[in-house]
């Protein structure tokens, strides 16, 4: 492997992830066992809105990192210092996706008919 390929691999590993590439963090549905259907629906709506906001921000950061990587590799290597990688938003996004799935499971177990889409 030549130096250019190694350098590109190291730089690419520091790039921010796209939202679709962030794994869901497991959250136990047991924490929602005492919620009524209405409360679950309201909480799912709140989490869904926040997931949508985070998704847009995470995807924007990933795009900016890819642009900075391209510019840095082709034109101006100091641009590589502006690559942020994953932000704390990515961790919050993974956790909220897990919370949403846990609420879906709890709603299903309680036989609630809730129609809230994630993100």
Q: Does 86 reside within a domain? A: yes
Dihedral angle over CA of 83, 88, 90, 93, nearest 10 = -160
Q: How many domains does the chain have?
A: 1
Name the residue range of residue 45's domain.
35-119
Helix 3-13, helix 37-74: angle, nearest 10: 150
Q: Does 84 reside within a domain? A: yes
pLDDT per position as a tens digit, 10-25: 444 456 677 888 889 9
CB distance 34 to 106 below 8 Å:
no
Q: Does 117 reside within a domain? A: yes
Residue 110: phi, psi to the nearest 5?
Answer: -90, 0
Q: Does 106 reside within a domain? A: yes
Q: Does 48 reside within a domain? A: yes
Query: Which residue do the tokens 């961790």 mark?
Result: 91
pLDDT per position as a tens digit, 44-84: 999 999 999 999 988 888 777 666 666 555 555 565 555 55
pTM of the model: 0.70
Q: Does 30 reside within a domain? A: no
Q: Does 25 reside within a domain? A: no
CB distance 78 to 9 below 8 Å:
no
């Amino acid at each position: 492997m030549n130096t250019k390929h190694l350098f590109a691999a190291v730089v690419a590993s520091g790039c921010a992830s796209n939202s679709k590439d962030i794994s869901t963090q497991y959250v136990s549905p047991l924490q929602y066992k005492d919620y009524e259907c209405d409360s679950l629906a309201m909480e799912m709506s709140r989490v869904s809105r926040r997931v949508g906001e985070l998704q847009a921000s995470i995807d924007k950061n990933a795009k900016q990192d890819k642009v900075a990587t391209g510019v840095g590799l082709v034109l101006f290597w100091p641009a590589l210092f502006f690559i942020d990688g994953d932000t704390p938003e990515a961790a919050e996004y993974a956790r909220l996706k897990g919370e949403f799935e846990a609420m879906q499971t709890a709603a299903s177990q309680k036989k609630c008919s809730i129609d809230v889409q994630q993100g």
